[in-house]
A and B are shown apart, each in its own frame.
Chain A
Amino acid sequence: MSTGSIDASGPGHAAVAAEVDQRGPAAVLGPGAYRGRPHEMFSALRGMGRELWQDKAGFAGLVILVLLALMAIFAPWIAPYDPGKGDLFAKLDPPVWQEGGSWDHILGTDHLGYDVLSRLIHGARVSLTVGVSVVLLAGGFGVFMGLLAGYRGGRTDAFIMRWIDTQIAFPGLLLALLILAVVGPSMITVIIVLAINGWMVYGRMTRGIVLSVRQLPYVEAAEMVGCSGPRVVFRHILPNLTSPLLTLAILEFARIILAEAALSFLGLGVQFPETSWGLDVARGETLMAVAWWPITIPGVAIAVTVLAVNMLASWARITSDPQEREKRFARQLAAREKRRERRERRLGVRPAGVRP
């Protein structure tokens, strides 16, 4: 399969392809080139990892997200208590560092004796599950519709775009509230409602990229060689969408986590005694005058999670946009130059501003 995705037509194509087959793409096409084999993908990922390490905020975001995901997966083993059971003998215990707190309940308990830390750990499950499912559902549908509209063109395109325009102009949140009120709130309904509300961005973006790519010579070449429609779309056009789609998906992920928290806060999402950070903030609202921890701690969890996703997203946005990348590269170069100059001036190697 390794020759299948080399679409740069031109003289010597066959020779390059043969060489790639023999020696691997890294040797022929330079480091970081990914041409479809597993070990080659790892080298491309390593390159990305190095770049992420350069951006400390983005890296921190990724680390926090990985930790959160582990916390969500292993929640039943990590959490000290059952999040769905209260201990009526330990009502409103403050966190451990405050007067009256104990190591029994590290982050304290609420007015019914529910352990705040255990609910926090289990709450990560809901946030991440909803976030991932909505991104997959909405993203999958949106990308499919976008590919269809962009590749088929004509009436299909007109119909899908009209649909997207109409739905974007809907008061989405109010309709979501209406549906949740009628169908009944649960995690599944929240996922479906948010997915219905969020697929349009993916569709629009995919269509735009497909339109700009499909006139390139290599797509025409693939069509002329006799590739079937689906093969052209998935094999030759879709890879161009990877990085912008990834960026959009990360941004949407942040938005979805906030939306789920807001819906649960309004009482239209996950229902007590199940856990969700938004729901726990709502439960803490009644205790606002007596205790700060039941309301503050789940809120901090939401903010930290979304901040981590946003930091990762802003790295991804810059990395996937060649123009932004160039700017960043220039900035880094300038900063390095400045640092060197300052150091040399301090050490007295040569007078400031004079270059050899």
Chain B
Amino acid sequence: MGRFMLLRLRHGLVVVLGVTVVVFVVTRMIGDPVSLMLPMEATPEQRAAFEHQLGFDRPIPVQFASFMADLVTLDFGNSLWQRRPAMDIVYETLPLTLYLVGVALGLAVLVAVPLGVIAALRPGSIVDRLTVFLSLLGLSIPQFWLGLLLIMLFAVSLGWFDHAGNFRADSIVLPAVTLALPALTRLVMVVRSQMIDELNAQYVKTSRAKGMPFLRIVGLHAMRNAAVPVLTLIAWEFIRALAGYTVVVEKVFAWPGLGLAAIQAIERQDLILLQAIVFTVAVMVVAINLAVDVAYKAIDPRIKLD
């Protein structure tokens, strides 16, 4: 276990290091941050002063060293747009994104599992085919467009829910539904196919032969056996949502989370805030991956100590 943890930890560090190198190369070497961040009419003197203030006039290796030192101390400097530490903005917006992702995934699981199981009970039936088709449809609808349609229908026309920001208790409803849909459709597919496989297994036939009620077989045996791949997918959906896939939904609903902060940082050419966000997300993704690996190891002893 210790060796396994150590290996995974090392891999995680490699990932974080890779992300920081990419961020550094993209922002300092490919792009020209000063001309991105300053207005067009800045004089050469102003440019030089600004470069000096940000430390961009130093040699690249020195810049990289100080960049890494900043990362270790979690001090990225002040956001150019809000003129306060970038990490403060991250700390403020991150909980709102976690809240949104949590509600959305909870919703997806609550809907997807019963739907997938019901579809799997009679593969090829009308209910099953309808479920498969609706999942395909759900997978095909662009998320931002779905969000806008929901706003048009439920917020503007019917006025049932709030649609912008996080000011009321019901503000979460529409963004969570929008964020849940693709995850939900993928979950339905996996639950369905896993359950079909399990229900065709020998042990189900044995249980039926000895007279066990069918629903009891489904609930007690088949669903349990189908659970591992489904849990994998749920963990994966969580990571995916955190790794930037809330950006679109947060933008559509003006949900003041990390994704919206990222988009605003891009719109305002605030590379410092953007760096802080990308780094935070990378660390989070690595940490969750690590937690999932360890959880697996604990649940299923068959998984090899790679």
A residues touching B (Cβ–Cβ < 8 Å)? 57, 162, 165-167, 169-175, 177-179, 181-183, 254, 258, 261-262, 265-268, 278, 281-282, 284-285, 288-289, 292, 295-296, 299, 302-304, 306-307, 309-311, 314, 331, 335
Q: Smallest distance from the beta carbon of B145 to chain A beta carbons, Å?
A: 4
CB-CB under 8 A for A183 and B30, given A268-B266, A306-B140, A310-B139: yes
Q: Smallest distance from the beta carbon of B193 to chain A beta carbons, Å?
A: 10
Are B243 and A292 closer than 8 Å at their CB atoms? no
Inter-chain contacts of B136 with A (CB < 8 A): 307, 310-311, 314
Q: Smallest distance from the beta carbon of A309 to chain B beta carbons, Å?
A: 8
Chain A's interface: helix, strand, loop or mixed, by majority?
Answer: helix
User: What are 7 pairs between A and B in contact, CB < 8 Å?
Assistant: A170-B18, A174-B243, A174-B262, A174-B278, A266-B263, A295-B152, A303-B140
Inter-chain contacts of B36 with A (CB < 8 A): 182
Count, chain B residues at interface, CB 8 A? 51
How distant is the Cα of A265 from the Cα of B142 in the complex, in angstroms? Answer: 10
Are B19 and A303 closer than 8 Å at their CB atoms? no
Are B144 and A262 closer than 8 Å at their CB atoms? yes
Inter-chain contacts of B247 with A (CB < 8 A): 173-174, 177, 266
Q: Smallest distance from the beta carbon of B31 to chain A beta carbons, Å?
A: 3
Inter-chain contacts of A179 with B (CB < 8 A): 26, 30
How distant is the Cα of A211 from the Cα of B303 in the complex, in angstroms? Answer: 21
B9 at the binding interface (Cβ < 8 Å): no
Are B149 and A173 closer than 8 Å at their CB atoms? no
B111 at the binding interface (Cβ < 8 Å): no
Contact digits for B51-67, partner A, Cβ 8 Å, 1 yes 0 no: 00000000000000000
Q: Smallest distance from the beta carbon of B287 to chain A beta carbons, Å?
A: 11
Q: Smallest distance from the beta carbon of A132 to chain B beta carbons, Å?
A: 18
How distant is the Cα of A214 from the Cα of B303 in the complex, in angstroms? Answer: 25
B176-196 interface with A by 8 A CB criterion: none
From the candidates B31, B140, B282, B289, name the one contacting A182 in the complex (CB within 8 A).
Answer: B31
How distant is the Cα of A310 from the Cα of B142 in the complex, in angstroms? Answer: 13
B286 at the binding interface (Cβ < 8 Å): yes
Are B152 and A292 closer than 8 Å at their CB atoms? yes
Are A171 and B142 closer than 8 Å at their CB atoms? no
Inter-chain contacts of A181 with B (CB < 8 A): 266, 269, 274
From the candidates B27, B263, B278, name the one contacting A171 in the complex (CB within 8 A).
Answer: B278
CB-CB under 8 A for A183 and B243, given A178-B274, A266-B263: no
Are A166 and B15 closer than 8 Å at their CB atoms? yes
B101 at the binding interface (Cβ < 8 Å): no
B124 at the binding interface (Cβ < 8 Å): yes
CB-CB under 8 A for A170 and B15, given A183-B31, A288-B148: yes
Contacts A174-B262, A178-B266, A295-B145 supplied; 14 other A-B pairs, CB < 8 Å: A171-B282, A172-B244, A174-B278, A174-B281, A182-B271, A183-B30, A265-B144, A266-B263, A281-B148, A285-B148, A288-B152, A302-B142, A302-B145, A303-B142
